[in-house]
Chains A and B, each alone.
Chain A
């Protein structure tokens, strides 16, 4: 089966899994609301009885913004509440954090300290980190549900979806931990060293162009490495489901072996999905720029656009699971047929 056939069948499966994607979106939005509602209440109390209510709707004033942050600097949520909430800056700041392995290092170091040093580092656990960890667990559950459902030859019910999620949760979580450890090692020992060396390497360079090129090469390499890891561990999960494997280590080994063996197809499919993700991002960036959120309905419109984007992203993830599962199953069947024929 070609990449596009896998993609097409995967797409059909995702179309039949709208309820599951809606569920995934609700999980995302409900978890996000747990840190949004407190901040919203804080903002409401700060703004509602002042004339800034009207002024801020005309445009965000940097002085107001910074005064709010100063007045509430003790609030851990407010520390992350900066200009990057505007426009399409969330993409940039989060991909920047991704390139720096921020989340991986926080959660990874927390576990390492807990397991190897018997020390619980509460200082590493801000509300956003805890939320991310909870979301990681939820996503692991959903991944089990999606792959378990897409691996079946019939349309599964929502009940089965949940059951598949529960069934593979433990195995997938172990794979996630493995992914976390590998990424952590890469960031701590390779990428961080590389990033730190760029200012030194380019220190004496007369032009900003040189460090810029260095950073962009670093970004591309990190993305490629992380992309490779994502594909490898995705197929590890798929093999866990399809081949009914128990060991996370062996499943991962098998996943990466499959990726290397079928590198053209697996990487091609992944790049196709990445391309679609980029298209979503560009579309969001373009459309949000036309919405001036100054009244109830324009805010609602922006909200709908944002949620459509998030739902699309989650749908894309489901599509990745579906088409990768299709690709794996078709290639395995082909291999099996070749083996039988020979």
Chain B
């Protein structure tokens, strides 16, 4: 190789590199920056609206289904055996002889249940041994009557009200020999045994951790003039009447127990290595418990102290003290403060916004790894979930704690039918959770665990906080709608969605409530939610009940809003199609009037005809604001009903339009693409600095990738 050719190669490489870098970074530009509105922080105020004094919280539920139980846990066999006495009050208005019951645990009895069938004919774990399955056996059913006991076990039969799968055993029916008349109370003694499965669907046992949920025969609900007792589906949750639960649980003395009702009313040492705990809770619709010798129990008292209280007594109801019981894992002691902090904040804000939490206790369970019981709600008890390596910037365990606590309100106190309208609890609660998270904490950051992987039922590794990324709760909600929103109308039964249960139960309803709030205003939204909560506490409302409340409180017919959101699979997508600034030329041509010459129009200041075109790309319709800003700083805020496919705004001004933003306050949070919501008129030579900022990072990423990735050269 000659010296000359080497120099040429060197020159070419250096020139290419230099030109490449200049092309990449460019030169500084002197283009005026656009002072565009930034995305708003969602919760704007923590001060709720003034209380409507006519709103009164009901003191108690109708207590239709009341249970007394005495059961024993055999941890080795993972077996719960005992009996329950059900007292069911007939409020149906007619005599009843047939009574359906849920046997949820039979969903995990074999791979022919409806739950398994909807889960691809399996129960979520390959190669299950016989001991991994779970079930509930009803051994005997007796009607307790002052006139005597009647064994009605022979009338026991499985029924399949939803989809005719005769192999499903999650609902059974018994028949009484005599009709229970309106106002009468049916008393049944049911002997049963429940085998806990290997953890599945937030129940079961692993190691010495026993989580007992949906574990006893539970009567269906007479609702809308018929029995509502759905089979257990793979993606649905539950529905039950309110009542009083008086439950005795016997288990080895060394076990720490937590349950609905919180603090046991009685604890009896049986002097045989077992202890019996009696829990009592009124006005709930389920009973769940957890037991393990490894749990660490700590109790603190929530006392309402609101810094605004003295100044704004009209806006706050005092909240009662609540005993918060935390049952945590021994290796999660670094999360204890975070669990308590999140629960206290949730107690405060849900209480201030919607109404007082009425129970004396709430139990927070930090679930055992691999128990699959994390992130689930039951009356006065819920499970959180956290990672011992979670950095403080990560949203968990706070977000899951707030969410599951929030279900005490949306699910617990408002007992909607989760089978049929899951969004009324999951969606309402996701919206409320967002509000609490945004009110009580600075924004959380995206985090990821590097150089690790799965283990102990979670993901471990070296935690890394993406501190450059702003994260909001609904970060990807609108993208989820974009991907799956067309699959289903939101208002459908839980098991009838096409792969969109999560979207339609959580994300879409939550975003729709944000959109409603931005549409009617924050103050009005407080009134709506509070009125709904007060009116339907301890009841079983439907979507129509909520819509009626919205119409009533706002004084408007808001049905168009719900038509476009809850009852439609249409997507919202508004965009700024174009901005055209056309300079109007000076007068030229013939200016006559019936052949008589007239003066041409006066030459005004440099004058522009500016046209801003807004398009509706999606099928969903919402009234929308448009912000138009001119180069001289003048602003115009337009309003469009959003109905037709497009509209345009034309201005004749001395200054051209600098930029336009459709929905500048981001009220249409369900808009599936907000990156097309603006248009800025920039010089052709303009090059994006933001792109270069990202490009610089990407360049380094690639350079490092090349350096590390090809280490073996």
Instruction: Please list the residues of chain A having a beta carbon within 8 angstroms of any beta carbon in chain B.
Output: 23, 26-33, 35-37, 39-40, 43-44, 46-68, 70-71, 80-81, 83-87, 89-99, 102-104, 128, 131-132, 135-136, 139-140, 143, 158-159, 162-163, 166, 172, 176, 179-180, 183, 195, 198-199, 202-212, 214-216, 219, 226, 229-230, 233, 293-297, 299-300, 302-303, 306, 309-310, 313-314
Q: Is B688 in contact with chain A by the CB < 8 A criterion? A: yes
Q: Is the CB of B387 within 8 A of A208?
A: yes
Q: Is the CB of B452 within 8 A of A215?
A: yes
Q: Is the CB of A183 within 8 A of B712?
A: yes
B residues 396-453 near A (Cβ < 8 Å) are 446, 448, 450-453
Which chain A residues border B483 with CB–CB below 8 Å? Answer: 70
**Assuming the A-B contacts A48-B687, A199-B455, are A59 and B699 also in contact, with contact meaning beta carbons closer than 8 angstroms in the complex?**
no
Q: Is the CB of B689 within 8 A of A296?
A: yes
Q: Is the CB of A135 within 8 A of B686?
A: no
Instruction: Name, among A55, A104, A212, the residue most crowded by chain B CB atoms within 10 Å (CB to CB).
Output: A212
Q: Is B703 in contact with chain A by the CB < 8 A criterion? A: yes
Q: Is the CB of A132 within 8 A of B705?
A: yes
Minimum C-beta distance from B200 to chain A (A): 15
**Assuming the A-B contacts A209-B388, A211-B460, are A51 and B659 also in contact, with contact meaning beta carbons closer than 8 angstroms in the complex?**
yes
Which chain A residues border B644 with CB–CB below 8 Å? Answer: none
Q: Which residue of B lies closest to A205 (CB)?
A: B456
Which chain B residues border A84 with CB–CB below 8 Å? Answer: 448, 701
Minimum C-beta distance from B90 to chain A (A): 47
Which chain A residues border B686 with CB–CB below 8 Å? Answer: 48
Flag B467-483 by CB within 8 Å of A: 1 or 0 each: 11111101110110011
Which chain A residues border B39 with CB–CB below 8 Å? Answer: 55, 61, 63
Q: Which residue of B lies closest to A55 (CB)?
A: B38
Q: Is the CB of A210 within 8 A of B25?
A: no
B residues 675-713 near A (Cβ < 8 Å) are 675-682, 686-713
Q: Is B17 in contact with chain A by the CB < 8 A criterion? A: yes
Q: Is the CB of B693 within 8 A of A57?
A: yes
Q: Choose among A128, A162, A179, A212 the residue that contacts B455 (Cβ–Cβ < 8 A).
A: A212
**Assuming the A-B contacts A49-B682, A199-B454, are A85 and B706 also in contact, with contact meaning beta carbons closer than 8 angstroms in the complex?**
no
Minimum C-beta distance from A266 to chain B (A): 17
Q: Is the CB of A36 within 8 A of B702?
A: yes
Q: Is B370 in contact with chain A by the CB < 8 A criterion? A: yes
Q: Is B674 in contact with chain A by the CB < 8 A criterion? A: yes
Q: Is the CB of A94 within 8 A of B709?
A: yes
Q: Choose among A26, A51, A206 the residue that contacts B678 (Cβ–Cβ < 8 A).
A: A51
Q: List 29 A-B contacts (CB under 8 A).
A: A30-B13, A32-B699, A35-B702, A55-B39, A58-B38, A62-B472, A62-B475, A63-B475, A67-B479, A83-B469, A84-B701, A85-B694, A96-B451, A102-B709, A131-B706, A143-B713, A159-B6, A166-B1, A199-B455, A203-B455, A203-B456, A208-B388, A208-B458, A211-B452, A215-B451, A299-B689, A303-B696, A306-B700, A313-B707
Q: How far is the CA of A81 from the CA of B713 in the complex (A)?
A: 25
**Assuming the A-B contacts A90-B700, A208-B460, are A66 and B475 also in contact, with contact meaning beta carbons closer than 8 angstroms in the complex?**
yes
Q: Choose among B16, B33, B294, B702 the residue that contacts A54 (Cβ–Cβ < 8 A).
A: B33
**Assuming the A-B contacts A50-B680, A55-B38, A310-B700, are A206 and B207 also in contact, with contact meaning beta carbons closer than 8 angstroms in the complex?**
yes
Which chain A residues border B707 with CB–CB below 8 Å? Answer: 28, 310, 313-314
Q: Is the CB of A37 within 8 A of B713?
A: no
Minimum C-beta distance from B178 to chain A (A): 52
Which chain A residues border B29 with CB–CB below 8 Å? Answer: 296
**Assuming the A-B contacts A27-B13, A207-B331, are A202 and B680 also in contact, with contact meaning beta carbons closer than 8 angstroms in the complex?**
no
Q: Which residue of B lies closest to A281 (CB)?
A: B704
Q: Choose among A83, A95, A131 the residue that contacts B448 (Cβ–Cβ < 8 A).
A: A83
Minimum C-beta distance from A321 to chain B (A): 11
Q: Is B271 in contact with chain A by the CB < 8 A criterion? A: no
Q: Is the CB of A299 within 8 A of B25?
A: yes
Q: Is the CB of B711 within 8 A of A85?
A: no
**Assuming the A-B contacts A195-B453, A214-B455, are A26 and B17 also in contact, with contact meaning beta carbons closer than 8 angstroms in the complex?**
yes
Q: Choose among A85, A94, A143, A215 the residue that contacts B460 (Cβ–Cβ < 8 A).
A: A215
Q: Is the CB of A207 within 8 A of B369?
A: yes
Q: Is the CB of B452 within 8 A of A87?
A: no
The 8 A-B pairs with the shortest beta carbon distances in the complex, nearest first, are A211-B455, A51-B36, A43-B691, A40-B695, A56-B690, A92-B450, A139-B713, A306-B700
Q: Choose among A43, A62, A226 the residue that contacts B695 (Cβ–Cβ < 8 A).
A: A43
Q: How far is the CA of A56 from the CA of B206 in the complex (A)?
A: 47
Q: How far is the CA of A37 from the CA of B691 in the complex (A)?
A: 11
Q: Is the CB of A212 within 8 A of B713?
A: no
**Assuming the A-B contacts A51-B661, A53-B688, A62-B469, are A198 and B704 also in contact, with contact meaning beta carbons closer than 8 angstroms in the complex?**
no
Q: Is B158 in contact with chain A by the CB < 8 A criterion? A: no
Which chain A residues border B703 with CB–CB below 8 Å? Answer: 28-29, 32, 306, 310
Q: How far is the CA of A166 from the CA of B5 in the complex (A)?
A: 14
Q: Is the CB of B710 within 8 A of A139?
A: yes
Q: How far is the CA of A87 from the CA of B693 in the complex (A)?
A: 12
Minimum C-beta distance from B436 to chain A (A): 20
**Assuming the A-B contacts A91-B704, A211-B456, are A56 and B693 also in contact, with contact meaning beta carbons closer than 8 angstroms in the complex?**
yes
Minimum C-beta distance from B201 to chain A (A): 18
Q: Is the CB of B469 within 8 A of A215?
A: no
**Assuming the A-B contacts A66-B475, A70-B482, are A44 and B691 also in contact, with contact meaning beta carbons closer than 8 angstroms in the complex?**
yes
Q: Choose among B16, B389, B446 the residue that contacts A208 (Cβ–Cβ < 8 A).
A: B389
Q: Which residue of B lies closest to A70 (CB)?
A: B479
Q: Which residue of B lies closest to A183 (CB)?
A: B712
Q: Is B299 in contact with chain A by the CB < 8 A criterion? A: no
Q: How far is the CA of A204 from the CA of B701 in the complex (A)?
A: 37
Q: Is the CB of A299 within 8 A of B709?
A: no
Q: How far is the CA of A62 from the CA of B475 in the complex (A)?
A: 6
* Seed contacts A55-B36, A206-B369, A206-B456; 5 additional CB < 8 Å A-B pairs: A43-B688, A43-B691, A51-B36, A85-B701, A98-B708
Q: How far is the CA of A99 from the CA of B451 in the complex (A)?
A: 8
Q: How far is the CA of A297 from the CA of B26 in the complex (A)?
A: 11
Which chain B residues border A54 with CB–CB below 8 Å? Answer: 33-36, 690
Which chain B residues border A29 with CB–CB below 8 Å? Answer: 17, 20-21, 699, 703
Q: How far is the CA of A30 from the CA of B387 in the complex (A)?
A: 42
Which chain A residues border B555 with CB–CB below 8 Å? Answer: none
Which chain A residues border B679 with CB–CB below 8 Å? Answer: 49-50
Which chain A residues border B476 with CB–CB below 8 Å? Answer: 62-63, 66
Flag B2-40 by CB within 8 Å of A: 1 or 0 each: 010010011001101100110111001100011111110
Q: Is the CB of B451 within 8 A of A140?
A: no
Q: Is the CB of B464 within 8 A of A207?
A: no
Q: How far is the CA of A31 from the CA of B20 in the complex (A)?
A: 10
Q: Is B323 in contact with chain A by the CB < 8 A criterion? A: no
Q: Which residue of B lies closest to A67 (CB)?
A: B675
Minimum C-beta distance from A37 to chain B (A): 7
**Assuming the A-B contacts A206-B294, A303-B696, are A135 and B706 also in contact, with contact meaning beta carbons closer than 8 angstroms in the complex?**
yes
Q: Is the CB of B6 within 8 A of A212?
A: no
Q: Is the CB of A158 within 8 A of B711?
A: no
Q: Is B498 in contact with chain A by the CB < 8 A criterion? A: no
Q: Is the CB of A207 within 8 A of B710?
A: no
Q: How far is the CA of A294 from the CA of B454 in the complex (A)?
A: 37
Q: Is the CB of B689 within 8 A of A205?
A: no
Q: Is B466 in contact with chain A by the CB < 8 A criterion? A: yes
Which chain B residues border A176 with CB–CB below 8 Å? Answer: 712-713
Minimum C-beta distance from B378 to chain A (A): 22
Q: Is the CB of A103 within 8 A of B709?
A: yes
Which chain B residues border A57 with CB–CB below 8 Å? Answer: 689-690, 693
Q: Is the CB of B455 within 8 A of A97?
A: no
Which chain B residues border A102 with CB–CB below 8 Å? Answer: 709
Q: How far is the CA of A282 from the CA of B652 in the complex (A)?
A: 58
Which chain A residues border B313 with CB–CB below 8 Å? Answer: none
Q: Is B368 in contact with chain A by the CB < 8 A criterion? A: yes
Minimum C-beta distance from A125 to chain B (A): 14
Instruction: Name, among B692, B699, B702, the residue most crowded by chain A CB atoms within 10 Å (CB to CB).
Output: B702
Which chain B residues border A49 with CB–CB below 8 Å? Answer: 679-682
Minimum C-beta distance from A68 to chain B (A): 7
Q: Is the CB of B36 within 8 A of A95?
A: no
Q: Is B111 in contact with chain A by the CB < 8 A criterion? A: no
Minimum C-beta distance from B672 to chain A (A): 9
